[in-house]
Amino acid sequence: MREDIIEKYLEAGRIAAKVLKEVRDFVTPKKKIDLLEIAEYAESLTIKYGGMPAFPCNVDLNEVAAHYTPLTSEPVVFDEGLLKVDVGVHIDGYIADTAITIARGEEYIEMARVNEEVLNHVIDEIRPGRSLGELGRLIEEEVYSRGYKVISDLAGHLIDRYNLHAGKNFPNTGEPISSSIKSGEVYAVEPFITFRDGAGSVDRVEPTHIFSLVKTKKIKDKRLDGLRKLIMSRYGPLPFTPRWFSDKYTYEDVVKLESMKYVRGYPPMIEKSFRPVSQFEHTVIVLDGDVLVTTRV
């Protein structure tokens, strides 16, 4: 991997880490929080520090595991539980993807602590040639040995330029047949865990607030074609949310594009038994002699 590309990945990671630190500081003193305020704060900090959002900030509370971003103000009382904040930053298409869980309440704080330790332990085991399925088994076994359960159908992922999910998963469970890690690859590593009595899997629910463009052919309808052009020019293939251009287009406009198969949706994912979920995530660059954690402070 060229040095200039590595530096862009590292800069995206530095920005993402700084954003999450400030988001944590912003949320910590508050008992009542507005999910929209958190998402917009994270996205505005990303731009302030010289990056661009690689996807809408995910703000996932308790049993919501992933892929939720608010469209309008959503004030909630956060006395105890687990609040996940998942941030993506890109520099010229080179992406950092990172997440923290803000925990309140003794049992939730302990789960989050275990989750973060498991993430750091598996990162220590990453190197070229390691089986992804073997690393997933290490995650699964450590989580179980410490009294929790992984969310088996959520996984980390290979990252490429302008491509968040570049074809290989970094599983959180053991897989007997899997790909191996190669030098020059970039991965988002993200164990999701819940209590032992949870289902350990997710359901996808509506409504969907996160989408990405998958088709670029011109549309006869001028309004919808204008929306297609806007998405293509601003976000390319990366995920977006309709609130980013709500001054010009409606949520229903985006849904029409989805029905025409111009965009795909990423529905929120809810733990099937409604048990709280914790998530921590880092982005790593795998090199022959080193593994660079781009999002670690």
Q: Which residues pair with 84 in a beta bridge?
A: 60, 101
Task: Count Cα neighbours of 43 within 13 Å in the Cβ-side half-sphere.
Answer: 19
35 pLDDT exceeds 90? yes
pTM above 0.75, yes or no: yes
Q: For 69-108, how does the pLDDT look when each residue is reduced to its tens digit (9 = 90+)? A: 999 999 999 999 999 999 999 999 999 999 999 999 999 9
In the chain, domain spans: 3-205+271-293, 211-265
CA distance 180 to 25: 38
The one-letter code for the residue type at 229 is K
pLDDT at 61: 98
CA distance 25 to 37: 14
Active site residues: 86, 97, 157, 165, 190, 281
pLDDT at 140: 98
Which position has the token pair 């914790």? 278
**3-205+271-293 in CATH: which number?**
3.90.230.10
Q: Say if CB 32 and CB 78 are below 8 A apart.
A: yes
Average pLDDT of the segment spanning 171-182: 94
pLDDT at 26: 97
What does pLDDT average to over the chain? 97
Q: Is 18 helix (H, G, I), strand (E, B) or coil?
A: helix
CA distance 87 to 54: 8
268 pLDDT exceeds 90? yes
CATH class of 211-265: mainly alpha
Nearest by Cα to 162 from 266, 241, 90: 90
Q: Say if CB 276 and CB 202 are below 8 A apart.
A: no
172 pLDDT exceeds 90? yes
Q: In which band, very low, low, confident or very high, does the pLDDT at 177 lie, cut at 50, 70 and 90?
A: confident
